[in-house]
Structure 1
Amino acid sequence: MKYLRIIVLSAMVLLIGSGIFVLSTNKVESKFAGKMESNPTAYLEATQLHASFKMGGRVSEILVKEGDVVKKGQVLARLESEELLTKVAQAEAAVEVQKGKLAEAQSAVQMAQGKVGEAEASTAAAAARKSQGADAARLTAQSVEKQVKEAQAVVKVAEAKLAALQNGARAEEKQQAKSKLEATKKAQETAQTNLERLQALYEEGLTSQAALEEAEMNFKKASSEYEVADQAYQMVTKGPRQEEINAAKAQLEQAKAVLELAEVSRGQVAVQEGDILVAEAGIKQSEATITSAKSGISQAEALVLSAQAGLQQAEASLAEAQTYVSYMELLAPADGIIVSKSAETGELVGSGYPVFTIEAQEDKWTTFYFPETDVTALNVGQEVQVRLLSTGEEVEGKIVQMEPAASFAVKKASQSLGETDIRSFGVKVAFPQLPEGIVTGMTVQWSEQGVKDNE
């Protein structure tokens, strides 16, 4: 029993001593928590950007080489663009065609407005003649001869108008229609040639289905425009419609009737009443002409709107083609140095393929790793100092990020009593300015001064 008590007392003393040791160890660790116990090193890093074409194609020019310093927006390489340039030329031609249609429609509006003006003037003249006829009823028979002459003039005008309709369109109008027909025919032939060329390229696998379909659409469009021009040409060559000629004949007969009435009424004051009737007929005719001309204005304005829409569409197609042409040039995304080149002249590259790797000049940083017991005094935004091992210079940086390191960086606890795992943290430090000659990959060390006093 005596020895048992001694053993028990010894065990109690041992346990009490171990507890005191653990408590004292924890106090020491708590006392020094948050202080930097080392000056780790790290390597300078920089952002690397990949420069790639927005669309695929064959490289026609390489303008820079590895190690060259480039500026943002500088042309680095080009793709073959003959096919796209052809599309641009076609789009430009389509824009010009639509501009011609718009000008033609606007001219039609102006002509219809001119007819309205003429008809309104005729209405005013007819109204004046009507008033004059009422006054002439009080005049002598001598005024009848004047009315006869006026009626004869109307007959001549009607005869001239009928003759003009029977003679058909003017030579200039026929020539204009013929020129337009020939232009649309040439456009159709060009579109057909382009379609046949693209069909051959497609069969050889040198162009896309979309390009072939676009060529087919252009050919159909050119064929449709040719048919419209052909119909217009046929209309001009065939002459005016029969109903127009019939209307002109009716007007001529009406004018002759008025003339006969004036001649029969010669010597009678009642002849003035016939003039009044003629004037009223002229007013009605002018009003009918005004109505017809206004309808023509509405139709012409509709053609203007249609032509404007066609022009906008053609301009949009041109802008799209020009945009694709701009994709043929590879531009530097930022100022920097060419680190690597992954393509050569003549090679086919796909959209998004990294042709060049560029190291940005103004974005350098490094990441230091500390145990969690050393980062309590650090915060994002704090300014710090590090030392360049290559030159020994002290440079300023700023903490921009703090995050836990990977699990393999955790310091595992041993079997000793009271120890715990200690996790590492990555502290990313950015450098707004570095001395000349400092390049990516050089070693930097956490300065003994560490965090600057920001107060």
Structure 2
Amino acid sequence: MNKRAWIGVAGFAVGITVLGTILFGPGVGSVTGQSTTKMAGVIEGTEVDLSFKMGGSIDQISLTEGAEVKAGQLVATLNSEELLAKKEQAEAAYHLAQVKLEQAKKGVSLTDSSSSAQVDQAQAVVNAAKAGLDANKNGARAEEIAQLKAKLQAAETSNQIAQTNLERMQKLLVEGAVPLVKVEEAKMQSDKAQAELKAANEQLKMAQSGSRREQIDASQAQLDQAKAAYDQAVAARGQVGLKQLDVKSAEAGVQQAKGALAEIDAYLNNTKLTAPVDGIVKSVSVQKGELVAQGFTVVTIQTKADNYVKFYVNEYTLAAIKTGDAVKLYVPALKRDVDAKVVTIAPAADFAVKKATQELGDRDIRSFQVKLLVSDTELRPGLTVEWKIEGAGSGE
């Protein structure tokens, strides 16, 4: 064979070698029937984009690109002056609602005790008025005189109670615990008790001196008045139920104000952005004072853990791999092997690493993505690694 022929054969061999490298070189896999397949890949890392749940202006950005960050570390904050002002308003509304609740509870207690005392007093006055009327009708006897004396004593007690209640209401009015209408009601009861005391005193005097027709009529009028007062006292006791409704309304107001305060606290918490994982700051997209929208990526963190590499393995080489396999990867930059683990194998093929030709019986050979997890702390995303797969099958 002459020199020109040898040159042609050598050129043909080089062309075949280059074509084989393109089709079956690193990162794709070999289909030449060899028992070992070498592949090349690139280390990738998990990135976490951090953003605020709400919009606002950046008040502080505490990290720079390349800085290490720990989980829970403060990354950035938003301006919160408006929210702080709203929190003061919410706190004031909450305290006011609590005060109203206490006033409503005191109102129930005062109304209950006051109405019960008024009913008892009114019943005593009715009994005394009946006794006085009977005494005037039948003439005053010794026991009737005694009854009128008892009536006078009861009237004195009622008058004293009414006066004490009036003084208490006036004091509570000054403290803001009761409305003015309560003081006016107590004043009316005091005036009424004084009139009844005066009437009881006059009845006793009349009984001691003898009864006349006008005295009998006066006693009847007093009895009617006493019965009316009793009915009024019983009706006033029904106001306790209305006061209890005021308490429930005030309790609802407290819960509403508490919820509004909790909402403001939640918004304030959203003005603080913290790192969810350990890692290295890959990029910072904002500056102090810059206005950002909700969900805008402020900082991107490259995690230190969970580095991985993806290979595309042809369907024949795939038979030598299974999920969970511990393998060795060679890192040219570090000039050493690192441990890795097969974590996922794609359930379906991604693309064909070899397309069928016109040859009889030829067919496509497809690739599957295989993901390996690497945990070596010296590895960084972007480093090249090589994987030697032993026992690979043949595609021919």
- Cα deviation for residue 371 of structure 1 reads 1.2
AA partner of residue 58 (structure 1):
S
Are 2:348 and 1:349 aligned?
no
Partner of 2:173: 173
Change (3 A) 1:110 1:250: closer
Partner of 1:402: 346
> Does the 8 Å contact 1:80/1:328 carry over to 2?
yes
Give 3-state SS (helix, strand or coil) of 1:362's partner.
Answer: coil
Q: 1:315 aligns with which of 258, 261, 265?
A: 258
AA partner of residue 82 (structure 1):
E
AA partner of residue 84 (structure 1):
L
Q: 1:392 aligns with which of 327, 336, 356?
A: 336
How many residue pairs align between the two structures? Answer: 351
Are 2:7 and 1:47 aligned?
no
Q: Deviations over 1:347-371 (max 9, x none)?
A: 1111111110011222121111111
Instruction: Give ranges in structure 1 of 5+ residues lacking alignment.
Output: 1-31, 181-231
Partner of 1:144: 145
Partner of 2:63: 64
Change (3 A) 1:168 1:374: closer
- Cα deviation for residue 339 of structure 1 reads 0.7
Q: Tell me the C-alpha RMSD between the 2 structures.
A: 4.4
For residues 100 and 246 of structure 1, the distance between their equivalents in structure 2, rounded to whole angstroms, comes to: 29
For residues 322 and 223 of structure 2, the distance between their equivalents in structure 1, rounded to whole angstroms, comes to: 100
> Does the 8 Å contact 2:320/2:389 carry over to 1?
no
Give 3-state SS (helix, strand or coil) of 2:248's partner.
Answer: helix
Q: Deviations over 1:98-129 (max 9, x none)?
A: 01101111111121232245346647877998
Partner of 1:300: 243
Q: Deviations over 1:121-178 (max 9, x none)?
A: 6478779989999xx99x973882683475277269559959997x99737625738x
AA partner of residue 356 (structure 1):
V
TM-score scaled by length of structure 2: 0.73
Give 3-state SS (helix, strand or coil) of 1:304's partner.
Answer: helix
Change (3 A) 1:73 1:287: farther
- Cα deviation for residue 329 of structure 1 reads 0.9
Give 3-state SS (helix, strand or coil) of 2:354's partner.
Answer: coil
Q: Of Structure 1 and Structure 2, which has the larger fraction of its residues in helix?
A: 1
AA partner of residue 360 (structure 1):
T
- Identical aligned residues as a percent: 29
TM-score scaled by length of structure 1: 0.64
Partner of 1:209: none
Instruction: Give ranges in structure 2 of 5+ residues lacking alignment.
Output: 1-30
Give 3-state SS (helix, strand or coil) of 1:312's partner.
Answer: helix
- Cα deviation for residue 378 of structure 1 reads 2.8
Are 2:378 and 1:437 aligned?
yes
Change (3 A) 1:149 1:126: closer
AA partner of residue 105 (structure 1):
A
Give 3-state SS (helix, strand or coil) of 1:170's partner.
Answer: helix
> Does the 8 Å contact 1:57/1:79 carry over to 2?
yes
> Does the 8 Å contact 2:125/2:155 carry over to 1?
no
For residues 303 and 72 of structure 2, the distance between their equivalents in structure 1, rounded to whole angstroms, comes to: 13
Are 2:27 and 1:84 aligned?
no
- Cα deviation for residue 376 of structure 1 reads 2.6
Partner of 2:356: 413
Q: 2:202 aligns with which of 256, 260, 263?
A: 260
- Cα deviation for residue 299 of structure 1 reads 1.6
